[in-house]
Amino acid sequence: MTLVTAPNLSAPDDFYQALIETHQGLAPEESHALNARLVLLLANHIGSLPVLREALRAARGERPE
């Protein structure tokens, strides 16, 4: 399995809206903690360390290996 970087969300605007709404009313530290929990939940769902490493590199703006 490799990291999917092509658009793959069926409703990206709806997801973005839900993400923004989830953060509403949170203090910055609460928002950061929510993001950390979300990352860990999604990492668990992906479950592949090589894919997760690829995602970490991509998030930093590094080129794929």
| Domain residue ranges of the chain, discontinuous segments joined by + | 27-65
Q: Give me the pLDDT at residue 51, please.
A: 97
Q: Give me the pLDDT at residue 1, please.
A: 84
Report which residue type is found at 22.
T
Rounded CA gap, 31 and 24, in Å? 9
Name 26's Cβ contacts closer than 8 Å, sequence gap at least 6: 34
User: Which stretches in the chain have pLDDT values below 50?
Assistant: none
Q: Give me the pLDDT at residue 33, please.
A: 98
- Tell me the pTM: 0.87
Instruction: Give the CA diameter of the chain.
Output: 40
Q: Give me the pLDDT at residue 63, please.
A: 79
Helix (H) or strand (E) holding 61: none
Q: Are 37 and 44 in contact (CB under 8 A)?
A: no
